[in-house]
Structure 1
Amino acid sequence: MSADNHGPPAPRLAGIRSRWLSATTAALHGDPVVAGAALVGSLGAGQADDWSDIDLLIVVDDVSIDDYAAPGRLPCGTGKPAVAFDARHNGPRGTRAVSGQYLVDGLPLWVDWHIHRLSQANWPADSTVIFDRRGLGRDSATFSELLNAGEHEQATAKGPADHRALQLALVPIAGKRIARRSPETAPMIAFIGGPYVPGAPWKDHLATLRQLLGGFAALRLPGSVAAGHAYLDLVEETLG
């Protein structure tokens, strides 16, 4: 998920992201199935702030794409996997994607994994290549343009429990939008299950998200709920 604008400094978030990424990069480099990896999104384009999530483009041998796109196959860096979702509908047909939340030092970190076949892969124009074992070319299109090109995979149907887990995982994303004073805060809160109140004070938005977190106990994801509260506390501390 890319940045819509920049928020105030949050060095703790930047720190856990850096540590997770360093450990994950080492794991990717040590995996012979992985032909190369790059940062995409705001980090890849050099437009990230401390609140930015991680978007990774992973290139694998064609025969390994489905195996590698399984959430349990992906490295988890310094974090503990909390929830993961098949997000292949976000990319062109033939690619795979997984979106997931990791818990690092009690805080949530959102990661979008984009897994592409070696036979069809090039590095997007706005990516930052981490390593490349096969000498892939550089595309003239940006990552966003590549994602939107051609036909897309069918969206994976989500049951009620999966939808609720997604709403829970998006609470910190809504918190990030509060920190950035983004106009997309109210629509995100509405998607999570709260009221649509554009223009509400940021403290009111935070109070709504905290109230919503109390409704996720039945999912039996206490780590994600606790991390959501910790993230909202960090938002309040940063803005307060």
Structure 2
Amino acid sequence: MTTHSADETTPPEPRLAGIRDRWLSAVTAALEHDPSVVGAALVGSLGAGRADDWSDVDLLLVVEDEQLDDYAVPDRLPSGPGRRVFAIDARHNGPVGTRAVSAQYVVDGLPLWVDWYIHPVSRATWPPDSTVIFDRRGINRSLSEYSGDLESATHKTPDEHDALRLALIPIAAKQLARNSADAPRTIEFLGGDPEGTWSDHLAALRQLLTQFDPLTHPESLAAASAYLDLLETPH
């Protein structure tokens, strides 16, 4: 499997960063006004200060214990200036006793992937590579990343699986923009041909889009196509 060379990576995409920052500003303001949210932090690349224009959002919420399951419902989470077009129960990404939701929002016609991690205050610590947005209780910072048991995965319906495949196409495109070795693997996972050049990989992602019924997921499909258009720069 081949990609283009490291000096041929797609240039920065400030429009994506602007959409992400605007979404985060609105969402964090909504969370701060929610009395059931004890605290919130950015984790992942944004929390660690390693983000680029293509980075998605990872948000850790700490809520009152009795509110844990309430916040594991996508409708309970703020959508900011975007519209949620996809969401799944992703508790398998977090430790036992916590919840998680993976969602895609469309903002200004482009997709934004957000991983929400919801922890009860009784089990909460801030990860070492995180940026705390607000904290009403003085939660301790952990000295290491969590490495214990994860929650069990939940079953996905065929419709959810189909929507997940579509939502992952921009993730593969992000990997391609970064010239990451993960891009061919994600393309293969999605059912595309992982072999070839950078242009072949982009063509494979466009081919994958043709497998989806435009009447079933019109907004997500249009957003994924617009996202691929961002990669159409000379290489």
Length-normalised TM-score, structure 1: 0.92
Are the equivalent residues in 1 in contact too, given 2:26–2:81 (CA < 8 A)? yes
Provide the rounded CA distance (Å) in 2 between the counterparts of 1:203 and 1:226.
20
1:40 matched to which residue of 2? 43
CA displacement at 1:82 relative to structure 2: 0.5
The amino acid across from 2:190 in the alignment is I
CA displacement at 1:204 relative to structure 2: 1.1
1:31-110 maps to which residues of 2 (within 5 A)? Answer: 31-110=34-113
Across the aligned residues of Structure 1 and Structure 2, the Cα RMSD in angstroms comes to 1.5
The amino acid across from 1:202 in the alignment is W
Aligned residues: 228
Provide the rounded CA distance (Å) in 2 between the counterparts of 1:185 and 1:117.
35
Question: Larger helix proportion, structure 1 or 2?
Answer: 1
1:186 matched to which residue of 2? 184
Percent of aligned pairs with the same amino acid: 63
Q: Secondary structure at the match of 1:155?
A: coil
Provide the rounded CA distance (Å) in 2 between the counterparts of 1:173 and 1:88.
19
Residue in structure 2 matching 1:28, options 31, 34, 49: 31
Provide the rounded CA distance (Å) in 2 between the counterparts of 1:225 and 1:33.
35
Q: Secondary structure at the match of 1:216?
A: coil
Q: Deviations over 1:133-185 (max 9, x none)?
A: 111111111xxx21xx2222110111222111111000000101110011111
Q: Secondary structure at the match of 1:37?
A: strand
Are the equivalent residues in 1 in contact too, given 2:10–2:231 (CA < 8 A)? no
For structure 2, the 5+ residue unaligned runs are 1-5
CA displacement at 1:195 relative to structure 2: 1.9
Q: Secondary structure at the match of 1:217?
A: coil
1:106-125 maps to which residues of 2 (within 5 A)? Answer: 106-125=109-128
Q: Secondary structure at the match of 1:171?
A: helix
Q: Secondary structure at the match of 2:148?
A: coil
For structure 1, the 5+ residue unaligned runs are none
CA displacement at 1:207 relative to structure 2: 1.0
1:195-214 maps to which residues of 2 (within 5 A)? Answer: 195-197=193-195, 200-214=196-210
CA displacement at 1:218 relative to structure 2: 6.4
Q: Secondary structure at the match of 1:114?
A: strand
CA displacement at 1:219 relative to structure 2: 6.8
Are the equivalent residues in 2 in contact too, given 1:7–1:51 (CA < 8 A)? no
Provide the rounded CA distance (Å) in 2 between the counterparts of 1:206 and 1:13.
18
Provide the rounded CA distance (Å) in 2 between the counterparts of 1:234 and 1:63.
43
Are the equivalent residues in 2 in contact too, given 1:91–1:97 (CA < 8 A)? yes
Residue in structure 2 matching 1:170, options 168, 171, 178: 168
Structure number with the bigger relative contact order (C-alpha 8 A, sep ≥ 6) is 2
